[in-house]
């Protein structure tokens, strides 16, 4: 049985950090899209923390892409950090540069575009 993904949300000055914990799979809709949809209107930047995510399968990546598209439509910038080298490559392979920028660490992700 797949353990549910946990998401901790931190908000400060229009920047929301979504800290995911656990694998992101097809059962993670509430943890990914659900949490995103509850962000306040004045959120201008969304930072996704994948440092406690060991694995994303294709359904999980689809959820992340939906989040990025929704943010893109709301003119919000999306920054990612904490991805393993494998998933950095997967994200680039998927052409997600159109929707997000991948950073090495949290401070760089928070600082970018500030």
Partner 1 sequence: MQSACPGVAPRWIGQWHAALPAMVLVFAGMACAQNALYIDLSGDWRITSDDRPEFAAPGFDDHAWGTFRLPAGSSPYRLRCWLRRTVELPASADRTQLALTVGVMRDVYEVYVNGVRIGASGNFESFADAQIPRPRTFDIPADAAEVTGPVAIALRSRWALNMPPMWRIQDAGPFVLASRNVAPRQAGTIQLQEQWIANSPGLVFGAVFAVLGMVGLFFWTADRKRIELLWFAAAGFARAISAYYRCSLLLTDSFPFVAAGFPRLEMFVGNFYQPMAATLALTAFGRKSARWYAALWVGYIVPMAIATSRPQIQPLPAYRFHAASFDLAHLWPPAVAMTVVLRNWWSTRRQHLLHLVLSLLLLNFGQDWFRRLIALVGRAEFLITNSQRIGAVWVLRDDVLLLFLSAVTLALLQRRLTADSRERLRLSGEMEAARVVQQLLISKTPARESIDAVYEPAQEVGGDFYQVIPVADGSQLIAAGDVSGKGLKAAMVVSLVTGAIRNRQSDAPGAILGELNRVLCESLDGGFVTAVIARLFGDGHVVLASAGHPPPYLEGCEVSLPEGLPLGIDAAAQYQETSLPMTAPQQMTFVSDGVIEAANAKGELFGFERTRHISTKPAKEIAAAARAWGQNDDITVVTVRRAAS
Q: Please tell me whether residue 55 binds partner 1 under the rule CB under 8 A.
A: yes
Q: Which is nearer to partner 1, 3 or 114 (CB)?
A: 3
Q: Please tell me whether residue 88 binds partner 1 under the rule CB under 8 A.
A: no
Q: Please tell me whether residue 70 binds partner 1 under the rule CB under 8 A.
A: no
CB of 27 to partner 1, least distance (A): 12
Alpha carbon distance 77, 54 (integer Å): 24
Which region among 37-45, 74-82, 90-98, 102-110 touches partner 1 (by CB under 8 A)? 90-98
Phi and psi at 34, nearest 5°, equal -60, -45
Positions in 14-33 near partner 1 (CB under 8 A): 26
CA distances from 11 to 14, 17, 112 (A): 7, 6, 16
| Lookup: tokens for 76 | 């919000």
80-103 burial, b if ≥16 CB within 10 A, otherwise e?
bbbbeeebeeebeeeebeebbebb
Residues of this chain that bind partner 1 (CB under 8 A): 26, 54-55, 57-59, 61-63, 65-66, 69, 86, 89-90, 92-98
């Amino acid at each position: 049985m797949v353990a549910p993904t946990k998401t901790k949300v931190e908000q400060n000055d229009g920047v929301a950090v979504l800290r995911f914990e656990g694998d992101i799979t097809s059962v993670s809709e509430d943890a990914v899209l659900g949490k995103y949809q509850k962000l306040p209107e004045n959120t201008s930047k969304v930072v996704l923390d994948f440092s406690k995510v060991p694995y994303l399968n294709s359904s999980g990546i689809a959820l992340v892409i939906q989040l990025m598209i929704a943010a893109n439509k709301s003119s919000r910038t999306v920054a990612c950090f904490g991805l393993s080298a494998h998933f950095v490559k997967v994200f680039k392979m998927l052409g997600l540069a159109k929707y997000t920028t991948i950073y090495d660490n949290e401070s760089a992700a928070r600082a970018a575009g500030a």
